[in-house]
Amino acid sequence: MYQTSDIRNGLKVEIDGQPYIVTYFQFVKPGKGQAFTRTKLKNLLSGNVLDRTFKTGETLQPADITEGTHQYLYSDGEAFHFMNMETFDQLELTPESVGDARNFLVEEMEVSLMFYKDRPVSVDLPNFVELEITYCEPGVKGNTAQGATKSATLSTGHTVNVPLFIEQGEWVKVDTRTGDYVERVRR
């Protein structure tokens, strides 16, 4: 069991039979009355966010969460296939359970899968990935206002805004947390 003093970002707890992860917490000690901890909890199954306040001394149930490193193999259109890096077992995930991570998955990429009671609930990607630009309009001379961007399609099919000097066939680094262009990569 966790105490309220154990609450920190990333802590995984079970509330009303559902797994949650702490995304924000604040310890409050008012001048009068009992101290408490204000939290924001994200449901790992539905993605809903719950605001909850815990009085000092309350206990929290740990969630039955396990994590493992898996390698993304391929997508057959109906499912995404991963391989456990330790046991070499293969696993199929639906597009719903992969979520927005599908925009940045590249074959042979290592990801961390989170399981709740042996059921996959989320895919954690590396913070940055390098992807090839498969299509973008050429930059037009004269459109050089500072910070001007254009739309580009990545090798995964995802669209991202890039600076005008980026050309088709070049590689770029993309932040998987925000989906934003970071920099051009020399290959």
For 25-34, letters b (16+ CB in 10 Å) and e give beeeeeeeee
Residue 91 resides in a domain: yes
Please check whether residue 159 lies inside any domain of the structure: yes
Domain identity same for 119 and 164: no
Rounded to 5 degrees, what are φ and ψ at 87? Answer: -100, -10
Residues 154 and 139 in one domain: yes
How many domains would you assign to the chain?
Answer: 3
Residue 144 included in any domain: yes
Domain membership flag for residue 2? no
The answer on 119 and 94 residing in a single domain is yes
CATH code where residue 72 lies: 2.40.50.140
Q: Which two three-digit tokens encode residue 152?
A: 């580009």
Q: Give residue 149's pLDDT band: very low, low, confident or very high (50, 70, 90).
A: confident
CATH code (residue 16): 2.30.30.30
pLDDT for position 128: 93
Verify that 26 and 56 share a domain, yes or no. Answer: yes
| pLDDT recorded at residue 142 | 61
Nearest Cα to Cα of residue 12 among 79, 77, 61: 61
Give the structural domain span for 31. 7-62
Is residue 11, in this structure, part of any structural domain at all?
Answer: yes
pLDDT at 140 over 80: no
**Boundary-marking domain end, from 62, 89, 108:** 62
Three-class DSSP labels, 2-46? EEHHHCCCCCEEEECCEEEEEEEEEEECCCCCCCEEEEEEEECCC
The larger pLDDT score, comparing residue 38 to residue 149, is at 38
| Separation between Cα atoms, residue 91 and residue 162, nearest integer Å | 34
32, 47, 62 — which closes off a domain?
Answer: 62
| Local confidence band at 120 (pLDDT 50, 70, 90 cut-offs) | confident
The residue with greater pLDDT, 43 or 146, is: 43
Q: Report how many helices (DSSP H) and strands (DSSP E) the chain contains, helices first.
A: 1, 16
Phi then psi for residue 99, to 5 deg, are: 65, -145
Mean pLDDT of 58-63: 93
pLDDT at residue number 46: 82
pTM above 0.85, yes or no: no
Q: What pLDDT score does 148 carry?
A: 79
Question: Can you tell me the mean pLDDT for 90-109?
Answer: 88
In a domain, 103, yes or no: yes
Mean pLDDT rounded to a whole number for the chain: 89
Spatial CB neighbours of 142, under 8 Å, sequence gap ≥ 6: none
Residue 1 lies in a domain: no
